[in-house]
Chain A
Amino acid sequence: MNDVAIIGAGLHPFGRFGAKSAFAMGAEAIDLALADAGVGWQDVQFACGGSWEVAQTDPLTGLLGLTGIPFINVFNACATAASAIQQAANAIRTGQCEIAVAVGLDKHPRGAFVEDPMLVNMPSWYAENGQYVTTKFFGMKINRYMHDHGITSRTLARVAAKNFRNGVLNPNAFRRKPISEDEILASPVLNHPLTQYMFCAPDEGAAAVVLCRAEIAHRYTDAPVFVRASVIRTRRYGAYEVNTTWAAVEEDAAPTVYASRAAYEAAGIGPEDVDVVQLQDTDAGAEVIHLAENGFCVDGEQEKLLAEGATEIGGRLPVNTDGGLIANGEPIGASGLRQVHELFRQLRGQAGERQVPGSPRVGYAQVYGAPGTAAVTILSL
């Protein structure tokens, strides 16, 4: 099996862009990634793309060059972009190609996500009854977690305020103004205990990376970033996850826990080796829970970590340095690639005002979404 390196990353800003199409944003993200890598589209031998809103991403070739390459589409809800990276990396690992592109793009209408529940094998009454709302699952999960582990609403506000602050430093972010903890706590409750400013919003954007066989990375860059692990897991019997009418009495761990363990094993490292972290912060509570599910702390320790500022850019465990989903919003197809774009910039020392000090060498990205799908990507210099 070949090792895989990322040699370029590109990102179209996240936000609202009027009539601009998701494809136009995707093509720009790929252009930026190719320029970053110093390769042309004609050099790319394989591509994988993901999106919710467009039927297929491969019409991008009509904007970039109809070169005839294999171009695979993936959709895996919030883990879509991480799945695109995995497919592109696997094509290199198995010798199918030497240079590949992974791209994600989306352009969502405003408001919480909605679709016909039958499309995800849920009964129509589930939506008619007002239960087909992903945010209420996050409210229930963090509410129970706070009860069990002594987490306060102030800690949730600290997470959101941090991510908004980091967004101020990120020219590509959707939300670029600081919001105080008190304002966050005082905003309308959407799903108790989560308030409006503790949630991310669906929006628009695109991101892409160029990957190559590790042995040839030196031809393109002095600073390749290696893909050490790319793992996807779905829910097990006993996990209570998004979009479900029931759960088993005997509990099992969330899919993130299994993806994380497998990723650490594949990479041959542990959480103590990670220098910069990207976690799925659909809401502030999710970031709190995911800190523990990914092995960065024990349950309940988050209260202290946030109070101490440990997860700030200058802290000992910087989390969501680009503002995460809370400041960037979530174009589903692109979100996991935004995370990897940020890690790539951080590991190469190119993150500008939000650069983590001390030359970080290992980056960790986790996404989680309906109906209980998680992905973990570990990168290192």
Chain B
Amino acid sequence: MQKPLAEVFTWPHDTPQLIGSRCGDCAATTFPAQSRCPRCGRSSMTELLLPRRGRLVAWTTQGFVPKLPYAGSDKADGFTPFGVGLVQLDDVIRVESRLTENDPAKLDFDMEMELSIVPFYVDDAGDEVMTFAFAPVSDSTDSTDSTDGR
């Protein structure tokens, strides 16, 4: 069966969203959810489902295997570099995330991105662990995972 890497996105779900939190006093927003506000320090944070789409503010590639406790199945042999980016979700928050695209030629600043949930590794129990990654929004209609009609 499939299971999420952590309880930080709605899963299973047809249109999954990252689970953040928002301060009831000053409106500061975090990802993941936390109980105290990073701006005003008060404890008025409530859960907030974050927008699924945004634009790419900054990005790079991860070209070497991260040290343990990195859990990816591509640890030892045949490591494939992955993209990492900071994605601004509407005007709500910027989230640091893996990207589904790792080719610098196909990544660009301000390009539109959408949340996807992708297979990450198979754990000792044989379960497929799923993680979140942002994918470039395809201009054409042949995208395989474009389930969001927005």
Partners in one complex: yes
Q: Which residue of B57, B64, B98 has the most chain A CB atoms within 10 A of its CB atom?
A: B64
Contact with B along A297-311 (1 / 0, CB 8 A): 000000000000000
- A189 partner residues in chain B, CB cutoff 8 A: 61, 63, 81
Are A128 and B39 also in contact (CB < 8 A) when A144-B109, A191-B61 are? no
Are B62 and A140 interface neighbours, CB within 8 A? no
- A124 partner residues in chain B, CB cutoff 8 A: 6, 69
CA distance A127 to B65 in the complex (A): 12
- A140 partner residues in chain B, CB cutoff 8 A: 58-60, 84-86
Which residue from chain A places its CB closest to the CB of B26 in the assembled complex?
A237
Are A249 and B91 also in contact (CB < 8 A) when A130-B62, A133-B62, A191-B60 are? yes
Are A128 and B71 interface neighbours, CB within 8 A? yes
- B39 partner residues in chain A, CB cutoff 8 A: 237, 248
A244 close to chain B: CB less than 8 A: yes
A188 close to chain B: CB less than 8 A: yes
Are B69 and A131 interface neighbours, CB within 8 A? no
B8 close to chain A: CB less than 8 A: yes
Are A248 and B28 interface neighbours, CB within 8 A? yes
B137 close to chain A: CB less than 8 A: no
Are A237 and B5 interface neighbours, CB within 8 A? no
Are B82 and A131 interface neighbours, CB within 8 A? no
CA distance A147 to B111 in the complex (A): 14
- B38 partner residues in chain A, CB cutoff 8 A: 237
Are B28 and A125 interface neighbours, CB within 8 A? no
Which single member of B30, B60, B71, B94 contacts A136 (CB below 8 Å)?
A: B60
Are B69 and A192 interface neighbours, CB within 8 A? no
Are A249 and B63 interface neighbours, CB within 8 A? no
Are A127 and B69 interface neighbours, CB within 8 A? yes
CA distance A128 to B60 in the complex (A): 18
CA distance A128 to B64 in the complex (A): 14
A190 close to chain B: CB less than 8 A: yes
- B88 partner residues in chain A, CB cutoff 8 A: 249
- The A281-303 residues at the B interface (CB cut-off 8 A) are none
CA distance A125 to B109 in the complex (A): 26
A143 close to chain B: CB less than 8 A: yes
Q: Which residue of A116, A127, A136, A147 has the most chain B CB atoms within 10 A of its CB atom?
A: A136
Return B68 CB to nearest CB of chain A, in Å.
7
Return A140 CB to nearest CB of chain B, in Å.
4
Which single member of B72, B85, B94 contacts A249 (CB below 8 Å)?
A: B94
A247 close to chain B: CB less than 8 A: yes
Are A144 and B57 also in contact (CB < 8 A) when A127-B70, A130-B66 are? yes
Which residue from chain B places its CB closest to the CB of A238 in the assembled complex?
B39
Return B136 CB to nearest CB of chain A, in Å.
16
- The A161-195 residues at the B interface (CB cut-off 8 A) are 188-194
- The B21-65 residues at the A interface (CB cut-off 8 A) are 28-32, 38-39, 57-64
CA distance A249 to B28 in the complex (A): 10
- B5 partner residues in chain A, CB cutoff 8 A: 125, 128-129
- A112 partner residues in chain B, CB cutoff 8 A: 64, 67
A139 close to chain B: CB less than 8 A: yes
Return B104 CB to nearest CB of chain A, in Å.
5
Which single member of A111, A123, A131 contacts B84 (CB below 8 Å)?
A: A131
CA distance A240 to B88 in the complex (A): 12
CA distance A237 to B38 in the complex (A): 7
A141 close to chain B: CB less than 8 A: yes
Are A125 and B6 also in contact (CB < 8 A) when A130-B98, A246-B93 are? yes
Are A129 and B71 also in contact (CB < 8 A) when A237-B39, A247-B86 are? yes
Q: A123-B32, A246-B31, A248-B28 are in contact. List 10 more A-B contacts (CB 8 A).
A: A125-B6, A128-B70, A130-B70, A130-B84, A136-B60, A140-B59, A141-B58, A143-B59, A143-B60, A245-B96
A-B contact pairs, 22 of them (CB 8 A): A125-B8, A129-B5, A129-B71, A129-B131, A130-B62, A130-B70, A131-B96, A136-B84, A139-B61, A140-B86, A143-B60, A193-B104, A237-B28, A237-B38, A240-B86, A244-B96, A245-B32, A246-B20, A246-B31, A246-B93, A248-B93, A248-B94
Residues of A within 8 A of B (CB): 111-112, 114, 116, 123-125, 127-133, 136, 139-141, 143-144, 147, 188-194, 237, 240, 244-249
Question: Which are the 8 A-B pairs with shortest beta-carbon distances?
Answer: A139-B60, A125-B6, A128-B71, A114-B67, A144-B58, A246-B31, A140-B58, A247-B94
